[in-house]
């Protein structure tokens, strides 16, 4: 039994299920073989009993025949000495045959009974051994189930503890990650604000420079326009003076009674500087306005 147990391969917890199943199958096969052998021996015992019954019947028939022969009186006077001797020999031989048949029948019956008892004892011994093995296997199975259950409970507790530890580690990592992410977002937000402020300052500087440049260009353009107007005004005044002198000469001469079209145009132009001197300053050109910083 112990050697059979040592053949089971070990697994993580308990014996290998396949090996146990094969061992149980082998025991069941052995039990079936024993049952078959017991049935064969029983048939043999039955056959021996039948043979014994036949021998008994033959013995009884021979005994009845012998008794009938013995009961029949034999006249000694009518028999010769030789015939008497044959009768005596027949009686002796019949007694020997009867005794031999009885001996053989008794021996056969004794052998059959002994074989039946031996087979019964063997069968009972095998049954007891099988019961003992079954009880031992059941005890081992129960013990193994108990050990497996304890191992399962222990591993389940370890797994639960490991799961809690992993959850705590995950929570700590998640909290740390959230803190790092918040710090990174704050840093990026601050950097973005600084970058926006820097870009706004640069844009304001560029806008101020553009405004200053535009103002300088506007002032320069106004100065050039003013100089040009003054120059045109001087030319106009010169032309008007020449026209008046010419008109005076013509009036004096008397060649003209009314001014010509050219003179009327010059007179109309003469009134323009006086109107320009009285007009308010024109509004600033939108192109010269400083650009608004968006």
Summarize the confidence of residues 38-47 as an average pLDDT: 78
How many structural domains comprise the chain? 2
Long-range (24+ apart) CB contacts under 8 A made by 88-95 are 94/62, 94/66
Lookup: tokens for 68: 């009938």
Question: What is the C-alpha to C-alpha distance for residues 277 and 271, in angstroms, rounded to an integer?
Answer: 10
Average pLDDT, the chain: 75
Note whether 258 and 148 are same-domain residues: no
Reported as a pLDDT band with limits 50, 70 and 90, residue 11 is: low
Q: Report whether pLDDT(279) > 50.
A: no
Would you say 246 and 273 are in contact if contact means Cβ atoms under 8 Å apart? no
Question: What is the C-alpha to C-alpha distance for residues 276 and 75, in angstroms, rounded to an integer?
Answer: 206
Percent of the chain residues topping a pLDDT of 70:
73
Summarize the confidence of residues 216-232 as an average pLDDT: 89
230 burial (CB, 10 Å; 0-12 / 13-18 / 19+) is exposed
Which of 110, 139, 171 terminates a domain? The answer is 171
Note whether 29 and 135 are same-domain residues: yes
Question: What is the C-alpha to C-alpha distance for residues 253 and 198, in angstroms, rounded to an integer?
Answer: 80
Q: Which helix (H) or strand (E) holds 207?
A: helix 81-253
The answer as to whether 254 is a domain residue is yes
The answer as to whether 206 is a domain residue is no
Which of 171, 187, 208 terminates a domain? The answer is 171
Domain hosting residue 226, numbered range: 219-288
pLDDT score recorded for residue 13: 52
Lookup: tokens for 49: 């009993």
Note whether 120 and 14 are same-domain residues: yes
Percent of the chain residues topping a pLDDT of 90:
2
Lookup: tokens for 19: 């090996």
Lookup: tokens for 31: 């039990």
> pTM of this prediction?
0.30
pLDDT for 172-194, tens place per residue? 999 999 999 889 889 888 888 88
Question: What is the C-alpha to C-alpha distance for residues 20 and 26, in angstroms, rounded to an integer?
Answer: 10
pLDDT score recorded for residue 294: 37
Torsion angles phi and psi, residue 10, rounded to 5: -85, 145
Torsion angles phi and psi, residue 13, rounded to 5: -140, 110
């Amino acid at each position: 039994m112990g050697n059979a147990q040592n053949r089971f391969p070990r697994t993580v917890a308990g014996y290998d299920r396949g090996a146990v199943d094969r061992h149980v199958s082998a025991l069941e096969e052995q039990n079936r073989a024993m049952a078959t052998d017991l049935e064969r021996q029983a048939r043999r015992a039955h056959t021996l009993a039948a043979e014994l019954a036949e021998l008994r019947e033959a013995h009884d028939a021979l005994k009845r025949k012998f008794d009938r022969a013995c009961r029949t009186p034999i006249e000694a006077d009518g028999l010769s000495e030789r015939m008497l001797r044959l009768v005596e020999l027949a009686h002796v031989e019949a007694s020997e045959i009867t005794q031999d048949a009885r001996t053989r029948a008794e021996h056969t019956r004794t052998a059959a009974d002994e074989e039946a008892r031996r087979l019964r004892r063997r069968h009972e011994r095998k049954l007891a051994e099988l019961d003992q093995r079954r009880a031992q296997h059941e005890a081992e199975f129960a013990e193994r189930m108990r050990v497996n259950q304890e191992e399962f409970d222990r591993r389940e507790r370890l797994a639960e503890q490991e799961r809690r530890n992993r959850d705590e580690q995950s929570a700590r990592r998640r909290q740390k990650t959230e803190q790092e992410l918040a710090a990174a977002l704050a840093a990026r937000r601050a950097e973005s604000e600084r970058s926006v402020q820097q870009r706004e300052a640069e844009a304001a500087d560029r806008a101020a420079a553009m405004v200053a440049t535009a103002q300088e260009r506007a002032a320069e353009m106004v100065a050039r326009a003013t100089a040009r107007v003054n120059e045109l005004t001087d030319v106009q005044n010169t032309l008007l003076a020449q026209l008046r002198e010419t008109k005076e000469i013509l009036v004096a001469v008397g060649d003209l009674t009314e001014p010509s079209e050219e003179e009327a145009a010059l007179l109309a132009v003469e009134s323009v500087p006086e109107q320009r001197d009285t007009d308010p300053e024109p509004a600033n050109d939108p192109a010269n306005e400083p650009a608004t910083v968006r």
